[in-house]
């Protein structure tokens, strides 16, 4: 089931996307869903029945603007070097445990909104990274790998845009990962028992040219391992986001270096979730 957060000009709302149609959830007696409800098979089954019986208002998808499914995450936790080919292109050893870092919640931006290059005439090198995003549905701590899926609301696409110069200058990731607009997210939030987050195609295109292409079956640490590992150290809250890492092909490791410039357009696509499109603009 593909959930979307959207606006028709009157405020943010949730809906279920089927083809080009949005089934609006604002008319439900209990109101729009929480992340906990999105993680509930019973809640999703109820929605399936309502949709089958045309019991929800229908909106033309072309008449609305999509919004990031999690506009203000409590925290964004990223995993570095989580694809074997990405570790190999950096000549790094395969890590024995997840390498975690943070990204500011204020970096989130919507599908279709611009990525703002913070230094188009200077030294900052801005890079793309297609990543599978995991959205936590219910509060959890010390979760086992076997139970991890029970605490997940759904999955989305994240473009983990990165300021490489800031990373190199600082010797750590936080500032370079956290410029405003550096976490485009969407276009949908997929919650479905049949969606296997550890076996979907991922691709990044810039101006239509494929830059990254892989499958999450190349994860070093799969989704259940990541949720369990992170929860051993910190409490995960509903609406927290885990960005699971990027495959090889990022611009900074290309020869020659091939990073983003104003005027270009990124398309981050994950099988079953959709394509997240954002143009790059100057500040």
pLDDT band at residue 7 using 50, 70 and 90 as cut-offs: very high
What domains sit in the chain, N to C, each tagged with a CATH number? Answer: 2-65 (no CATH), 76-282 (3.90.850.10)
Percent of the chain predicted with pLDDT > 70: 100
For residue 87, pLDDT beyond 80: no
Distance CA 7, CA 24 (A): 11
Arithmetic mean of pLDDT over the chain? 95
CA 166 remoteness from chain centre: 22
For residue 9, pLDDT beyond 80: yes
Residue 57 has a pLDDT of: 94
Residue 198 has a pLDDT of: 98
pLDDT band at residue 158 using 50, 70 and 90 as cut-offs: very high
pLDDT band at residue 29 using 50, 70 and 90 as cut-offs: confident
Residue 150 burial by CB count (10 A; 0-12/13-18/19+): exposed, middle or buried?
middle
Residue 32 has a pLDDT of: 86
Distance CA 4, CA 61 (A): 10
Q: What is the pLDDT of residues 107-153, one digit of tens each?
A: 999 999 999 999 999 999 999 999 999 999 999 999 999 999 999 99
Distance CA 92, CA 90 (A): 5
Residue 3 near residue 153, CB atoms below 8 Å: no
Q: Which residue has the higher pLDDT, 252 or 31?
A: 252
Residue 120 has a pLDDT of: 92
pLDDT band at residue 155 using 50, 70 and 90 as cut-offs: very high
Q: What is the pLDDT of residues 42-56, one digit of tens each?
A: 999 999 999 999 999
**DSSP reduced 3-state for 282:** strand
Q: Catalogue the E-assigned strands of the chain.
A: 2-7, 12-18, 21-24, 58-60, 65-67, 76-80, 99-103, 108-109, 115-117, 126-127, 130-136, 152-159, 162-163, 183-190, 201-206, 209-215, 241-243, 265-270, 274-282
Residue 146 has a pLDDT of: 97
Residue 98 has a pLDDT of: 97
For residue 6, pLDDT beyond 90: yes
Residue 108 in tokens? 């989130």
Residue 21 has a pLDDT of: 96
For residue 273, pLDDT beyond 80: yes
Residue 91 has a pLDDT of: 79
Tell me how far CA of residue 164 lies from CA of 26, 124, 127, 169, 174, in angstroms.
Answer: 42, 7, 7, 9, 11
Tell me how far CA of residue 145 lies from CA of 148, 227, 228, in angstroms.
Answer: 5, 7, 5
For residue 94, pLDDT beyond 80: yes
CA 12 remoteness from chain centre: 19
pLDDT band at residue 23 using 50, 70 and 90 as cut-offs: very high
Tell me how far CA of residue 210 lies from CA of 110, 122, 130, 206, in angstroms.
Answer: 22, 26, 11, 7
Distance CA 153, CA 160 (A): 20
Residue 115 near residue 281, CB atoms below 8 Å: yes
For residue 177, pLDDT beyond 80: yes
- The reply to whether omega before 256 is within 30° of 0 (cis) is yes
Distance CA 63, CA 14 (A): 14
Tell me how far CA of residue 39 lies from CA of 173, 175, 182, 231, 253, in angstroms.
Answer: 31, 32, 27, 17, 37
The mean per-residue pLDDT over the stretch 235-257 comes to: 96
Residue 89 has a pLDDT of: 79
pLDDT band at residue 206 using 50, 70 and 90 as cut-offs: very high
């Amino acid at each position: 089931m593909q959930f979307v957060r959207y606006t028709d000009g009157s405020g943010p709302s949730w809906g279920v996307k089927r083809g080009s149609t949005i089934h609006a959830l604002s008319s439900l007696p209990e109101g729009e869903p929480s992340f906990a409800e999105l993680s509930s098979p019973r809640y999703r089954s109820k929605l399936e029945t309502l949709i089958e019986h045309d019991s929800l208002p229908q909106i033309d998808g072309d008449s609305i603007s999509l919004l990031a499914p999690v506009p203000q995450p409590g925290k964004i936790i990223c995993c570095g070097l989580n694809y074997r080919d990405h570790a190999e292109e950096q000549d790094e050893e395969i890590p024995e445990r997840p390498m975690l870092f943070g990204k500011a919640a204020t970096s989130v931006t919507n599908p279709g909104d611009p990525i703002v290059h913070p230094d188009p005439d200077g030294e900052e090198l801005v890079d793309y990274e297609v990543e599978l995003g995991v959205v936590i549905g219910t509060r959890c701590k010390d979760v086992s790998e076997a139970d991890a899926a029970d605490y997940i609301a759904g999955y989305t696409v994240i473009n983990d845009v990165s300021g490489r110069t800031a990373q190199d200058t600082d010797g750590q990731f936080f500032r370079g990962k956290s410029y405003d607009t550096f976490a485009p997210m969407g276009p949908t939030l997929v919650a479905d028992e049949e969606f296997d987050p550890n076996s979907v195609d991922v691709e990044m295109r810039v101006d239509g040219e494929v830059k990254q292409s892989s499958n999450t079956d190349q994860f070093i640490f799969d989704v259940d391992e990541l949720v369990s590992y992170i929860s051993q150290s910190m409490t995960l809250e509903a609406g927290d986001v885990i960005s699971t890492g990027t495959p090889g092909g990022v611009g900074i490791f290309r020869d020659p270096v091939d990073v983003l410039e104003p005027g270009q357009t990124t398309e981050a696509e994950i099988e079953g979730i959709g394509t997240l499109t954002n143009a790059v603009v100057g500040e």
